[in-house]
Structure 1
Amino acid sequence: MKTTKTTMTGYKEAPFVQIRQTLQSERAYESHAHPTLSIGFMMEGKTCFQTPQGAFFLEQGALAIIPPHTQHSCNPIKESKRSYVMVYLDADFCARIQARHFKEASTLLPLTSPLIFHKELFEAFTHIIKAFIKEYSPLHVKALESWLETFFWLYTKRCVIKETEETLHNVARFLESRIDETLSLSDLAKRFGLNSFVLARHFKQAYGCTPKHYALDLRIDHAKKLLQVGTSLALCAQYCGFVDQSHFHRFFKRHTALTPKEYQVNFVQ
């Protein structure tokens, strides 16, 4: 019987990309988000891909597109296992590539679809990522940049940023700068001159979650970075604002389907 295996791979020469490969997994996740542009594909089986835009079945031949800070979950169909790859791409790196076509892209512009069926793009992307998994090469980086340039040209949504959206963007950036603190909704609303109810409603419309949940996602992502460089679980919990190590362990596993120790052991660079 095949057993679940997860490998997280990062690259010193290309810190803007990380790859998660999970084989024969039945593990489920809570809804969560990443600060990266995340692109996933199935190697075997299928999964239920839940986004703010609806639920989809993700199978071989399609790419799941998850913009930064977008709530999502990718969970197995009942009594089945699946194997998949998730690629996490730094948002600033992606915005610089996107700006080659769209000059207004100082931050990553919105994308048009959470699920794309494009045979040539799918085959090219999976080929590049499988090559990355096998071994690092600067040629793979160039191929990935070229792929992203084509992808952004086809799937970037042109839009005008409204004042409310800019305020919400500032709230999100403020939360990113306070990872080790627990900030109340009323404190945030007061700081940005908004009604608490209005802030919560508009923030959820924009990011798919409450400011509190958004801040938790940021803390989990920061914990991943600390675990990658060998930081102890106790210090990770402390640095990321968790009450204690068990509190950290519980929320980390809910978000990643791995314990902090499993994540640290299976990270390869």
Structure 2
Amino acid sequence: MNETKTTMTGYREVPFLQIRRTLQSERAYESHAHPTLSIGFMMEGKTCFQTPHGSFLLEQGALAIIPPHTQHSCNPIKESKRSYVMVYLDAEFCARIQARHFKEASTLLPLTSPLIFHKALFEEFTRIIKALIEGYSPLHVKALEALLETFFWLYTKRCVIQETEKTLHDVVRFLESRIDEPLSLNDLAKRFGLNPFVLTRHFKQAYGCTPKHYSLDVRIDHAKKLLQGGTPLALCAQYCGFVDQSHFHHFFKRHTALTPKEYQVNFIQ
């Protein structure tokens, strides 16, 4: 029986890009979010792709599109394995590409669909990513940037974008800056002069999750960066506001389907 194998690949020359490849996996994990624009595709098998827009069956031939800070999960069909690739693209980098076509793109504009069926785009995207997994090449990176220009031109939603309510924006900035010591919902609401239930309701409408879940996503993402840099697990737990290493291990695996050690060992740079 084949065992699950996951590798994370990052490039010093290309800080806006990371690639995760998982082979022969039956692992499942909880709904979570990333600060990046994530694009995934199946190499083998099928998976259940769940987003705030609904549940979809993801197979070879389609690209799964996950905007930044959007709750999602991609879990296996019962008693089956799947192999897949996830590509993580820095949101500010993507917004700069969008801005070449859409003047209002000071931040990443919304995209039209969580699933894209475009044969030529799919084949070119998967070809470039598979080549990058095999080894870094500036030519492949240029090809990816050119493809993303086409992608954003075709699939950016043409609409008027309203700014996030200032108070919620301030709450998000606070959560992202207090990774080491997250506040309770009551303390957070008190700090911003809101009723806890009102804060939760408006936050979920804007971000698709509770402030607590958002904070956990941010802390897990920061832990990934620390692990990539070789930070010991115990210090990662401490820096990211977890009670202890066991607590860190539990939540990290629930979010990524990997233990912190597995993630650190399998990160390639």
Alignment of 1:135-146 (within 5 A): 135-146=135-146
CA distance in 2, matches of 1:77, 1:8: 23
For residues 164-185 of structure 1, the C-alpha deviation after alignment (integer angstroms, 9 at most, x for no partner) is: 5454333222211111121232
Partner of 2:100: 100
Cα distance in 2 for residues equivalent to 1:111 and 1:172: 22
The verdict on how the C-alpha distance between 1:169 and 1:160 changes in structure 2, with shifts beyond 3 A counting, is: farther
2:246 is matched with which residue? Answer: 246
Separation of aligned partners in 2, 1:198 and 1:163: 19
* Aligned match of 1:126: 126
Length-normalised TM-score, structure 2: 0.96
* Equivalent position of 1:222 in the other structure: 222
Amino acid across the alignment from 1:142: K
Partner of 2:198: 198
Aligned CA distance change for structure 1 residues 59 and 163 (closer, same or farther; 3 Å): closer
1:83 Cα deviation from its structure 2 partner: 0.2
Q: C-alpha offsets along residues 179-210 of structure 1, whole Å, 9 cap, x if unaligned?
A: 11212323333444433222211211222110
For 2:21, give the aligned amino acid: Q
Q: Secondary structure at the match of 2:27?
A: coil
Paired position in structure 1 for 2:2: 2
The CA distance in 2 between the partners of 1:14 and 1:224, in whole Å, is 17
Q: Counterpart of 2:6 in 1: which secondary structure?
A: strand
Q: What residue is the counterpart of 2:171 in the other structure? A: 171
Bigger CA drift: 101-110 or 31-40? Answer: 101-110
Q: 1:112/1:194 Cα in 2 relative to 1: closer, same or farther (>3 Å)?
A: farther
Q: Does 1:46 align with 2:69?
A: no
Instruction: Give the residue type in structure 2 aligned to 1:231.
Output: T
Q: Which amino acid aligns with 1:185?
A: L
Q: Structure 1 residue 11 and structure 2 residue 11: aligned? A: yes
2 CA distance for matches of 1:83 and 1:16? 24
Q: TM-score if structure 1 supplies the norm length?
A: 0.96
Counterpart AA for 1:175: L
What does 1:32-43 align with in structure 2 at a 5 Å threshold?
A: 32-43=32-43
Call closer, same or farther: CA 1:198–1:157 in 2, change over 3 Å.
farther
Range 214-223 or range 101-110, more displaced: 101-110
How far does the alpha carbon of each residue in 1:186-245 deviate from its partner, in whole angstroms, 9 at most, with x for none? 333344443322221121122211010000000000000000011000000000000000
Q: Give the stretch that moved more between structures: 129-138 or 190-199.
A: 190-199
Structure 1 residues 115 and 165, CA gap change in structure 2 (3 angstroms): farther
Q: Give aligned-pair identity as a percent.
A: 88
Is it true that 1:77 corresponds to 2:74 in the alignment? no
Q: What amino acid sits opposite 1:29 in the alignment?
A: Y
- CA offsets, 1:6-49, max 9 Å, x none? 11100000011000000000000100010100000000000000
Counterpart code for 2:236: C
* Deviation of 1:104 (Å): 1.6
Question: 1:126 and 1:165 mapped to 2: Cα distance?
Answer: 38
- Please report the RMSD computed on the Cα atoms of aligned residues, expressed in angstroms: 1.4
Contact 2:8–2:18 (CA under 8 A) maintained in structure 1: yes
Q: Give the Cα–Cα distance (whole angstroms) in 2 for the partners of residues 193 and 100 of structure 1.
A: 40
Q: Distance in 2 between matches of 1:163 and 1:144?
A: 30
